[in-house]
Amino acid sequence: MSQETVRVAVVGGGRTGTPLLERFIDVPYIDVVGVADVDPDSPGAAMARSNGIFFTTDALVFAAKGDEIDLLIEVSGDTSLKRQLKDAFIQEGNRHTIILHDLVARLMISLVEDSDTLIPSMHPEDNGIG
């Protein structure tokens, strides 16, 4: 029986996205299918390239990938991007991909690191769904 995998794309290859990518790349049930960052020289961009993972500077291209992405983790810190992504996903008719917020990503990192406290936000102004 083959193991179920979760296909993940990460938007934001900096202070929050990079630790997630480091963990995800080694997990057999996670398939990192893409990384987006406006900075092509970000740590996340370099990690994507060195691991043969699709990289783009335009996160909106993920909307057209439809069922290829199960979970999109948006940790860019760009407060307008989450709304743009949602609008692009709606326009493309993508009702499959779940867009995950920075707070949930921070919770996941804190749990994985067995931290007694929630790791601090790198983007405290990024609230809600945009």
pLDDT in tens, 39-72: 999 999 999 999 999 999 999 999 999 889 999 9
Three-state secondary-structure class, residue 28: coil
Q: Is the pLDDT of residue 128 over 60?
A: no
Tell me the two tokens of residue 78: 């760009």
Q: Is the pLDDT of residue 1 over 60?
A: no
Domains of the chain: 6-112 (3.40.50.720)
Q: Tokens 């989450």 appear where?
A: 82
What's the CA angle centered on 39, arms 34 and 41, to 5 degrees?
Answer: 90
Q: Are 30 and 21 in contact (CB under 8 A)?
A: no
User: Which residues are 30's β-sheet partners?
Assistant: 6
Tell me the two tokens of residue 7: 């296909």
Q: Are 126 and 102 in contact (CB under 8 A)?
A: yes
pLDDT of residue 37: 97
Q: What's the whole-model pTM score?
A: 0.86
pLDDT of residue 35: 98
Tell me the two tokens of residue 122: 């790198």
pLDDT of residue 109: 78
